[in-house]
Amino acid sequence: MSLTPEQQALKASVLAVNDDLPIRTDKPVHSGKVRSVYWLTEADSRRLIEEKGYDVAPDAPLAIMVISDRISAFDCIWTGEGGVQGVPGKGAALNAISNHWFRLFRDQGLADSHILDIPHPFVWIVQKAKPVMIEAICRQYITGSMWRSYAKGEREFCGIEIADGLQKDQKLPELLITPSTKGILKGIPGVPEADDVNITRTNIEDNFEAFNFRSRDDIDTYEKLLKEGFNVISTELEKLDQIFVDTKFEFGFVTDKSGQEKLIYMDEVGTPDSSRIWDGESYRDGKIVENSKEGFRQFLLNHFEDSDILLNKERMDERTALARDNELPMSALMAVSETYTGIAEKITGQKIELSADPKAEIIEVLRQQYDLIAD
């Protein structure tokens, strides 16, 4: 399919490959589904800490984290017609939303984040943290995988008993914390050695060191920050007539300039990738309008004839081939773009500007203002 000039410009604005930047590093670049991490040399880390006055230990390892516009769903990366490798504006929207919430958390006295500096809309300078090995999930409504399990008769979730008689998409009587493992943890009694396994608070209390907590008191701090962070975002979204349905938080420990170790927020928060956000007016009218990635997941389930490929983990090879061999309509990618940039602009009050050449911009700012580009 040939793209129109407008679509060609959109294609050029997409940053799909983000692990090939000439950032000076002496370690392998770690590339995830969406972000790539470049660990700086010890000399560059020390220099930036001194030059920029970051509130970290003088010898703290720093990294450049570069987001992409890739779109991941059902553990696969999806592309569009004409070789469009991502969603225009998605990366900048995700970063802008996270930046907004992290700033609000800090201003309201909750906790800091791993972000030290924001050189470019696609780029964070971050400090190395010791991650808490928990995917911290908060749920305010019963929907998604939780509803599917509930509809089959399950009433206990992560050690918490749920009442009978709930309806799909109903608000829960109280905010639920339903944690799961981050990565494969070994040797924990009662916890299977697999990624993303649901766990209970008792599991965490009895094995707090295996989850990288220093003491049982840290569990209370983690839950407090989890609930407070959720409530801050939920309250702000309510002002925009948006419903914060559920979300994932991640935490880690860092040491500040004074040598004090503290728990911080990590990864991203309150974004369409990590959360479900519903339109309030539509919900009151009995309809669910997603302002999150869930809308894209539903599109994929409807777009392909055999949706079981996307849902059945035993058909992963077929799913990988499906994503590799099928370019999605541009209209689908642009619908995702409108969702992400639209909710970002609502939350931040700032327009998401598409870059004509994001990679060149990133290289230029990291060379001129941070001296981090290898010659």
330-348 and 294-303 helices cross at what angle (nearest 10)?
170
Band of residue 115 on the pLDDT scale cut at 50, 70, 90 = very high
Q: Is the predicted pLDDT of residue 334 greater than 90, yes or no?
A: yes
CATH of the domain at 182: 3.30.470.20
pLDDT exceeds cutoff 80 at 375: no
Q: Are 62 and 48 in contact (CB under 8 A)?
A: yes
pLDDT at 145: 86
The candidate with the shortest Cα–Cα distance to 65, out of 205, 267, 238, is 267
Q: Please give the structure tokens belonging to residue 362.
A: 């990133």
Residues 98 and 134 in one domain: no
φ, ψ of residue 5 to 5 degrees: the values are: -55, -40
Q: What is the largest CA-CA distance in the chain?
A: 65
Query: Environment class of residue 161 by beta-carbon count within 10 Å: exposed (0-12), middle (13-18) or buried (19+)?
Result: exposed
Flag whether 90 is in a domain: yes
Q: Around Cβ 9, how many Cβ atoms within 10 Å?
A: 13
Residue 49 lies in a domain: yes
Q: Total structural domains in the chain?
A: 2
Domain with 44, as residue range(s), is 5-129+315-368
Domain assignment of residue 82, yes or no: yes
Residues 116, 213 within the same domain:
no
Q: What is the pLDDT of residues 60-73, one digit of tens each?
A: 999 999 999 999 99
What pLDDT, in 10s, does the model give residues 216-232? 999 999 999 999 999 99
In a shared domain, residues 68 and 137: no
| Averaged pLDDT for residues 354-375 | 94
Q: Specify whether 9 is located in the same domain as 153.
A: no
Confidence of residue 132 (pLDDT cuts 50, 70, 90): very high
Residue 167 sits in the same domain as residue 125:
no
Q: Is residue 7 over pLDDT 80? A: no
With a cut of 80, say whether residue 370 has pLDDT above it. Answer: yes
Q: What is the pLDDT of residues 15-62, one digit of tens each?
A: 999 999 999 999 999 999 899 999 999 999 999 999 999 999 999 999
What percentage of the chain exceeds 90 in pLDDT?
A: 89
Same domain, 106 and 177: no
Residues 265-324 pLDDT 10s:
999 999 999 999 999 999 999 999 999 998 999 999 999 999 999 999 899 999 999 999
Q: Is residue 234 part of a domain?
A: yes
State yes or no: pLDDT of 12 exceeds 90: no
Same domain, 271 and 178: yes
> Residue 1 above 70 pLDDT?
no
Q: Which residues pair with 156 in a beta bridge?
A: 161
Residue 300 lies in a domain: no
Residue 111 has pLDDT above 80, yes or no: yes
- Same structural domain, 116 and 27: yes
- 136/237 Cα distance (integer angstroms): 20
299 assigned to some structural domain? no
Helix axes 217-239, 90-107, angle to 10 degrees: 110
Residue 308 within a domain: no
Same domain, 273 and 323: no
Average pLDDT over residues 74-101: 95
- Considering the domain architecture, whether residues 114 and 155 belong to the same structural domain is answered as no
pLDDT of residue 338: 96
Regarding whether 271 and 137 lie in a shared domain, the answer is yes
Of 284, 299, 330, which residue sits at a domain end?
284
Q: What is the pLDDT of residue 11?
A: 83
Taking the C-alpha atoms of residue 107 and residue 363, their distance in angstroms, rounded to an integer, is 31
- Examine the domain organization and report whether 98 and 145 are in the same domain: no
Residue 296 placed within a domain: no
Q: 3-class SS at 167? A: coil
The CATH number for 330's domain is 3.30.200.20
**pTM of the predicted model as reported, rounded to 2 decimal places:** 0.94
Judging by DSSP bridges, how do beta strands 71-73 and 76-80 pair with one another? antiparallel
